Structure 1
Amino acid sequence: MSAPPAGIPEADWLATPASIRSLILAQQQEIQALRQENDELRSQLTALASELAQLRERIGRSSRNSSKPPSSDGPGFKPPERRKGSGRKRGGQLGHPGSGPELLPFERVDEVVEHHPDACRRCGTLLAGEDPDPLRHQVIEIPPITPLVIEHRLHRLVCPCCSTSICATLPADVEASPYGPRLSALVGLLGSVFPLSFSKTQALLDQLLGVEISRGAIAKVRERLSAVLAEPMAQALEAARQQPVAYVDETGAPTGNADGNNPSGKRGWQWVMVTAAVTVFLQGLSRSTAAAIELLGSTFGGIVVSDRFSAYNHLPIQQRQLCWAHLIRDLTAIAERPGASAEFGAELLGLQQQLFYHGHRYKHGTIDWHGLQQSCRPIRQAFEARLQQVVELGYQRGERTPWAKTVRTAQQILQLADGLWTFLETPGFEPTNNAAERALRQSVIQRKISHGVQSRQGAICRSRLLTVTTTLRQQGRDVWQFLEQAWIAHHRGGVMPSLLPDPESAAQSTAC
């Protein structure tokens, strides 16, 4: 005889008819099976709810709450609300003096055409004389452009005494290449400052200058220009490693295997280091600590402003400033999650806004350095305490819910918490690496146009051109002139121009 079910005395169970007992046991088994099925369904529902939350968060990722670029935001993306306008129409307002095209100085005028009125419009009397202060109207036009072609003829003569054949040689100041320094510099300029594709560069040179050049010749010219820039590039990299502050970042840079140096088909990465003096780019196949050391050098002693990427973890935390712009996106993602995450995220964003408020007060001179430190000390304590509270609440191991992601993010931030506040201990730099992200935009544009480079030499050429053009624009110098002077110095001899700024301009320049 079977044992009585839980909660039924044995005497009562024995007194129950056998048919009823069988029915009760069957119902008990069915209840047990339903309970087990219910537990399984609850588990599946929890897993599906977690997966749904992850998918919603993934779909909702944008440039505001992740590292995605603004160009990836879809058409349905709603940007943050901007401040309300003044209600006035766009453009110049009533009473605005306006600014038309300025007249060029007389030294730059190539031709003057005088216009005199013939007769009085009222009575018809003939007029003569000169207006000492006539109205001036200038028309700027581009003359037809034709390339200057110089043909060098090397004559071969036979010695009348010994019958030796002697051929003349090109002078040292004559290019061995069929393309001169200024044209070669322009080809480099059209692939860097103006990121044109090979076909568009070819078309522009043909239609605008009347220069027919093949794509292969364009590649050869840029390859030679890359060799020309090796010395200024090395000098700039060494100077950047001596700067007190460096803003660094990296982005994908597809690299082909045309030369056999990328047989495994690695993606390739473009690294950048922005300093007050120069901006340096390096492209390689790795996004690792070794690649970061290759950029910064093994003895870099300044402060590195970056995101929380682990490649920079080899640096002492005292030398790091974590980017608050990246952190704001992480906090925004937390605030947009359901449940307790939203509350914690909103509080952390509120503390961040207080921090930046005092930072703006310091920039505008309403508080001094000591006042900034005093104002931000309680914000730092509250910020770290809130993160610690999130971590202490914890999550179950293996859990993949939105809350678990929030806890993991809080743990990652706390591990590098001291690196959030370096800008409050050392004045003179920004707590974001926006300068590096702005510098990388040119590389991203080139990547979208050309889909990367096909060889290691192409990667080196692109990095050197980006270094030269970005640094010179940062210093307000003429890129085309620099490339031409560097080409002449390399191929004909002379002093190679430097990417380092003059001491006076270097003292006034800033990285941001």
Structure 2
Amino acid sequence: MKLTPQQVNTICKGDQEIAGYFHELLTVVDRQSKQIEKLEKRVNELERQLGQNSNNSSKPPSSDGLRKPTNLRQSGGKKGAPKGHDGYTLRSVDSPDEIVFHQVTTCTSCSHSLETVTVEGYEKRQIFDLPPPCVRVTEHRIEKKCCPYCGLEQKATFPADIQAPTQYGEGFAAWTAYLHAYQMLPLKRIAQLFADLTTYRPSEATLLSLLQTMSRSLESVEQTIRSALFRKATVNVDETGCRIAGKNHWVHVVSNEHWTLLGAHQKRGSQAMDELGFLPFYLGTVVHDCLPAYFKDFYYFGHALCNAHLLRECQGIAEHDGHAWAKQMKELLQESWKLTQAARRDRRPLAAAILDKASKRYDDILERGKDEWANDAVRAKAGPRGREIKSKAANLGERLKVHKASILRFLWNADIPFDNNQAERDLRMVKVKQKVSGAFRTFAGAKVFVRTRSVISTLLKQDQPVLASLVNAFRGHPILG
């Protein structure tokens, strides 16, 4: 409580000298109090940052280091392979490529010779092995003839894809794309692998040329993927940072459980989304993580928010700030998803009473939460301009209130997933590529990778053979229906 000058004079019994010292002391105390409050808010923010991990924030699991964070997944799930799974047991074949006979020549009991005794049967065991790889060289020859009428020399033409005296073929192109965008190997290691297997070592420039040729072959396949996603009622979208040509760029994804469409761009927002050629024309529901760019007025799709992100944020606020409302909201979302899963397994909608109860409980939790986040320490504004600074809990509470319908949409729409993990899984290989191979040297190279990766990811989702499909695409054959 701040003392008035009259109160100070009363305490000092009218002694002005003592009152002057008292005023100076109060000024110092007031200044220190403000500094302490400022430092407490700063310490609170730093402690929050220090305590963040992949379970209570949007930080990736790779940033957790050697710590083992608390697992938020619910126990009691199914274990092992799904029912009816064929497994991967190595089974013998009826027609082996080679048969090696091992003779029994002597009786182990009496040492009698068995060389002339008739064989009564065989016991067999089979070895599955890879033969040494070899390069098959095909020579193309065009005929030359002299016209007997005019004497002009004539010759046939080479196929359009044969443009040099010697060149690598479709197998090398498919393998290069496979190793580059599926096994995530850098060009130097791809060249070394070819040298180890075949004694032929393509240069990095040759490998880049093969990748560009393969990318052009996959252009129509990419359009097939885009068209297929347009027909889906729900898609997942996300974006991740990517180093290209020494600068930070972004890789965007639109996907579902059967199709993947990736695109690279210098920016993260709506300009990048527009150039991917999907969201401006899509009219279904988009599952995303509440990036403001998805809420632009010129987009006409519906919204569903990723609840996995919200669970992590609630966990962080419950851990750091001790807010009861955040824990209650996390429990509500988890319980609601359990009820939804059970209803979807039984192919039935949730009862109206359950929906009403969940909606009312949602509102009640946020109403009680206002009292808790109103007392949060908030750092001071750096200047007079800009919006009022709110605490993490207040910002989350506001987002939960504004986007309630998009957050709870999974309750009444069976096409809506609980989270956006599908898109995150489809982007994860971009980060793996960076960790294994490093940053992309050029933007053109990144475009080649994301197109090839889009096709490979789609092939994997649809249980199609990757390498054989790439060969067929290089030959101009359709590989996705």
TM over 0.5: same fold? yes
User: Among residues 103, 106, 117, which one is paired with 2:94 in the alignment?
Assistant: 106
> Structure 1 residues 243 and 83, CA, compared in 2 at 3 Å: closer, same or farther?
closer
> Structure 1 residues 235 and 49, CA, compared in 2 at 3 Å: closer, same or farther?
same
Amino acid of the structure 1 residue aligned with 2:128 = I
What pairs with 1:235-274 in structure 2 (closer than 5 Å)?
A: 235-256=224-245, 266-274=247-255
What pairs with 1:180-195 in structure 2 (closer than 5 Å)?
A: 180-195=169-184
Say whether the 8 Å CA contact 2:53–2:69 is kept in structure 1: no
Name the structure 1 match of 2:71.
Answer: 80
Name the structure 2 match of 1:503.
Answer: none
Name the structure 2 match of 1:137.
Answer: 125
Amino acid of the structure 1 residue aligned with 2:37 = T
Name the structure 1 match of 2:405.
Answer: 418
Answering whether residue 271 of structure 2 is matched by residue 284 of structure 1, we say no
Q: Deviation string for 1:99-121 (max 9, x for gaps)?
A: 995333123x1111222322332
Pairwise CA distance, 1:398: 10
In the alignment, the residues of structure 1 paired with residue 325 and residue 348 of structure 2 have an alpha-carbon distance, to the nearest angstrom, of 31
**Unmatched 5+ residue regions in structure 2?**
81-86, 381-388
Name the structure 1 match of 2:480.
Answer: 499
Aligned residues: 454
> Structure 1 residues 84 and 243, CA, compared in 2 at 3 Å: closer, same or farther?
closer
**Unmatched 5+ residue regions in structure 1?**
14-19, 86-90, 92-98, 257-264, 490-495, 501-512
User: Among residues 24, 27, 30, which one is paired with 2:18 in the alignment?
Assistant: 27
Pairwise CA distance, 1:473: 0.4
User: Among residues 304, 307, 319, which one is paired with 1:321 in the alignment?
Assistant: 304
Name the structure 1 match of 2:83.
Answer: none
Name the structure 2 match of 1:124.
Answer: 111
In the alignment, the residues of structure 2 paired with residue 392 and residue 289 of structure 1 have an alpha-carbon distance, to the nearest angstrom, of 36
Pairwise CA distance, 1:45: 0.7
Note the aligned Cα RMSD (angstroms): 3.3
Name the structure 2 match of 1:226.
Answer: 215
User: Among residues 337, 358, 369, which one is paired with 1:356 in the alignment?
Assistant: 337
Amino acid of the structure 1 residue aligned with 2:360 = Q
Name the structure 2 match of 1:510.
Answer: none
Determine which structure has more spread, i.e. the larger CA radius of gyration. Answer: 1
Amino acid of the structure 1 residue aligned with 2:403 = L
> Structure 1 residues 7 and 286, CA, compared in 2 at 3 Å: closer, same or farther?
closer
Equivalent position SS for 2:286 = strand
Amino acid of the structure 2 residue aligned with 1:57 = R
Pairwise CA distance, 1:53: 0.8
Equivalent position SS for 2:287 = strand
Name the structure 2 match of 1:302.
Answer: 284
Say whether the 8 Å CA contact 2:236–2:420 is kept in structure 1: yes
In the alignment, the residues of structure 2 paired with residue 252 and residue 104 of structure 1 have an alpha-carbon distance, to the nearest angstrom, of 47
Equivalent position SS for 2:243 = coil
Say whether the 8 Å CA contact 1:388–1:414 is kept in structure 2: no
In the alignment, the residues of structure 1 paired with residue 19 and residue 375 of structure 2 have an alpha-carbon distance, to the nearest angstrom, of 33
In the alignment, the residues of structure 2 paired with residue 219 and residue 46 of structure 1 have an alpha-carbon distance, to the nearest angstrom, of 58
Pairwise CA distance, 1:380: 2.7
What pairs with 1:418-457 in structure 2 (closer than 5 Å)?
A: 418-457=405-444
In the alignment, the residues of structure 2 paired with residue 224 and residue 395 of structure 1 have an alpha-carbon distance, to the nearest angstrom, of 59
> Structure 1 residues 8 and 44, CA, compared in 2 at 3 Å: closer, same or farther?
closer
Answering whether residue 339 of structure 2 is matched by residue 383 of structure 1, we say no
Say whether the 8 Å CA contact 2:283–2:300 is kept in structure 1: no
Pairwise CA distance, 1:449: 2.4
Name the structure 1 match of 2:30.
Answer: 39
Pairwise CA distance, 1:225: 0.9
Say whether the 8 Å CA contact 1:317–1:419 is kept in structure 2: no
> Structure 1 residues 131 and 320, CA, compared in 2 at 3 Å: closer, same or farther?
farther
Equivalent position SS for 1:437 = helix
> Structure 1 residues 411 and 238, CA, compared in 2 at 3 Å: closer, same or farther?
same
> Structure 1 residues 465 and 322, CA, compared in 2 at 3 Å: closer, same or farther?
same
